[in-house]
Amino acid sequence: MTQKFIPYGRQSIDQDDIEAIVKVLKSDYLTTGPAVNEFEGLLADKTNSNYAIVCNSGTAALHMAAHAIGLSENDAAIVPSVTFLASANAMTFTGAKVIFADCDPATGLMTKDHLENAILRAKKAGLCPKVVVPVHLAGQLCDMEAISKVARREGMFVIEDACHAIGTTYGPNLEHVAGDCKWSDLTAFSFHPVKTIAMGEGGAVTTNSSDFAKKLELFRNHGITRKPEEFISEDTGKDRSGEWGSWYYEMSEPGYNYRASDIQCALGSSQLKKLDMFAAKRRELREKYYSLENSLPEGIRLANRVPNCSPCPHLMIALFDNDFLGKGRNHVMEKLKNDGIGTQVHYIPVHLQPYYRTQTVGVDFSGTLSFYNSCLSLPIYTSMSPRDIEVVVSSLKSL
Ligand SMILES: *Cc1c(COP(=O)(O)O)cnc(C)c1O
């Protein structure tokens, strides 16, 4: 009996999303129009932050955030090894050196102890640790209070990589939401289709600082300002009347074109309006997985849950003992695929990538390696049904 294929993740697009895009296509603005402001207003609202600056990817969001804090050549950026390449690469774009932190083997999250260890290594290498980039793997938040305490003591900035965590709530009474920057300076999001909210390609940074918000906007748009109060060159910009020219703009530093179009933002807004529904469905699926954890075969368990956090899960990570029950990961992935189930590995430790590898010889990454050698992401996405989870679990049982 062949069933529909259950991928490890996928976007959820409805008729209202399609209509929102068509409406933009029929309007006067395909980019830098009203859909951009609408999306930013909605996102600031959903993340309970003062400012949300949209851009065209999560990678761009991280780069913009790194630029806003003034990260540069002689600085070190501390990034956990269990993450997507972009968390490290975006810091590297500024000329800063990445110092990788080890992670907890049961959650894949960086802890304050891993941070402390990385800070020591950075200093030993003669670098100034200027920023830490905690990654909220699978949608579970790192212990931000503890991490930010260490960072503040060291005079470091904190940029949260919340690309997995839109919609996650946290705090003793779950009174906070990812992106509110309670324990950080800036938070980066991705709206790639495999993440909870899809824009095609897209990302955003949230912050509570007007100064950071200004820098993010400038960097996103070629470094251009059109605000007369920020102009410097009277000889080029002033009209014979003594007024600044209506055509005039100035550039104080080169910026990348990281803008998101109105087409992308219209899709983003339409999706964000459904975030609460998406999050409720994903939480329900996650609960279903955990309710069946005890019925999994010996040697397979789910990643540990962290306290004071209600994730809107992007991934459902399982951990396998003994090199995948003695069968190897390829075999297990192949077997699940034959049963119509997609899986993926999140992530290959970034410190082992050839580009970064030479920097980390001799450093203890035992937590990261243990996590990498046992992790497999099982399907979870908004349109998945609890029945699908039973299919996944029964396939795991037949291993
Ligand atoms: C997806 C992702 C990014 C990059 O986002 P893009 O939108 O693909 O550029 C960065 N960090 C993490 C943890 C991610 O999962």
292 Cα–ligand 1 center, Å? 30
Residue 194 confidence (pLDDT): 94
Q: What share of the chain has pLDDT > 90, as a percent?
A: 97
In angstroms, the CA 305 to CA 140 distance is 8
Q: What share of the chain has pLDDT > 70, as a percent?
A: 99
pLDDT digits (tens, 9 = 90+) for 193-220: 999 999 999 999 999 999 999 999 999 9
62 Cα–ligand 1 center, Å? 9
Q: Which atom of ligand 1 is nearest to the CA of 83?
A: 13
Structure tokens at 128: 């100034």
In angstroms, the CA 163 to CA 138 distance is 9
pLDDT band, residue 1 (cuts 50/70/90): very low
Residue 4 confidence (pLDDT): 87
- Is the predicted pLDDT of residue 368 greater than 90, yes or no? yes
Structure tokens at 291: 């309710």
Q: Which residues pair with 99 in a beta bridge?
A: 78
pLDDT digits (tens, 9 = 90+) for 244-296: 999 999 998 999 999 999 999 999 999 999 999 999 999 999 999 999 999 99
Pocket test for ligand 1, best of 8, 85, 87 (most atoms within 8 A of CB): 87
Q: Which atom of ligand 1 is nearest to the CA of 192?
A: 7
Structure tokens at 350: 């970034």
| Nearest alpha carbon to residue 388 among 333, 335, 342, 332 | 342
Concatenate the DSSP letters of all residues of 166-232 into one string: TT-EESTTS-EETTS-TT-SEEEEE--TTSSS--SS-EEEEES-HHHHHHHHHHHBTTEE--GGG--
326 Cα–ligand 1 center, Å? 32
Residue nearest ligand 1's atom 6 by CA: 58
Find out whether 82 and 349 touch, Cβ atoms under 8 Å.
yes
Which amino acid is it at 230? E
Least-confidence region, from 143-152, 222-231, 267-276, 334-343: 222-231
Which segments of the chain are extended strands (E)?
51-55, 75-80, 97-101, 128-132, 157-161, 169-170, 176-177, 186-190, 203-207, 224-225, 250-251, 300-302, 309-310, 316-320, 375-378
59 Cα–ligand 1 center, Å? 6
pLDDT, mean over the chain: 96
Residue 359 confidence (pLDDT): 79
| Exposure b/e, 89-124, CB count within 10 A at least 16 = b | bbbbebebbbbbbbbbbbbbbbbbebbebbbebbee
Residue 360 confidence (pLDDT): 80
pLDDT digits (tens, 9 = 90+) for 184-196: 999 999 999 999 9
Q: Is the dihedral of CA 173, 176, 182, 185 positive or negative?
A: positive
167 Cα–ligand 1 center, Å? 16
Torsions phi, psi for 14 (to 5 deg): -115, 175
Other CB atoms within 10 Å distance of the CB of residue 232: 9
319 Cα–ligand 1 center, Å? 22
Residue nearest ligand 1's atom 4 by CA: 58
pLDDT band, residue 362 (cuts 50/70/90): confident
244 Cα–ligand 1 center, Å? 41
Cα–Cα separations (whole angstroms), residue 289 to 29, 235, 284, 295: 44, 67, 9, 10
Q: Which atom of ligand 1 is nearest to the CA of 136?
A: 13
Pocket test for ligand 1, best of 103, 142, 186, 192 (most atoms within 8 A of CB): 192
Pocket test for ligand 1, best of 59, 256, 264 (most atoms within 8 A of CB): 59
Distance of CA 306 to the CA centre of its chain: 18
In angstroms, the CA 291 to CA 269 distance is 33
In angstroms, the CA 282 to CA 314 distance is 8
What stretches of 238-352 show up as alpha helix (H) in DSSP? 262-272, 275-291, 322-325, 329-338
Structure tokens at 104: 């907890």
Other CB atoms within 10 Å distance of the CB of residue 311: 25
Residue 87 confidence (pLDDT): 98
* Range 304-333 average pLDDT: 97
348 Cα–ligand 1 center, Å? 14
Residue nearest ligand 1's atom 2 by CA: 163
Cis preceding-peptide flag for 372 (omega within 30 of 0): no
Residue 138 confidence (pLDDT): 98
pTM of the model: 0.97
Helix, strand, coil percent values for the chain (each to nearest 5): 40, 15, 40
Length of the chain: 399
Q: Which atom of ligand 1 is nearest to the CA of 86?
A: 10
* Range 10-19 average pLDDT: 96
Structure tokens at 349: 């430790």
Residue 228 confidence (pLDDT): 93
- Is the predicted pLDDT of residue 3 greater than 80, yes or no? no
Structure tokens at 353: 């990538």
Q: Is 299 exposed, middle or buried (0-12, 13-18, 19+ CB in 10 A)?
A: middle
60 Cα–ligand 1 center, Å? 9
Ligand 1 first shell, C-beta below 6 A: 57-59, 83-84, 86-87, 135, 161, 163-164, 190, 192, 203
pLDDT digits (tens, 9 = 90+) for 50-78: 999 999 999 999 999 999 999 999 899 99
Find out whether 350 and 100 touch, Cβ atoms under 8 Å.
yes
In angstroms, the CA 87 to CA 258 distance is 17
SS3 state at 79: strand
120 Cα–ligand 1 center, Å? 27
Find out whether 20 and 199 touch, Cβ atoms under 8 Å.
no
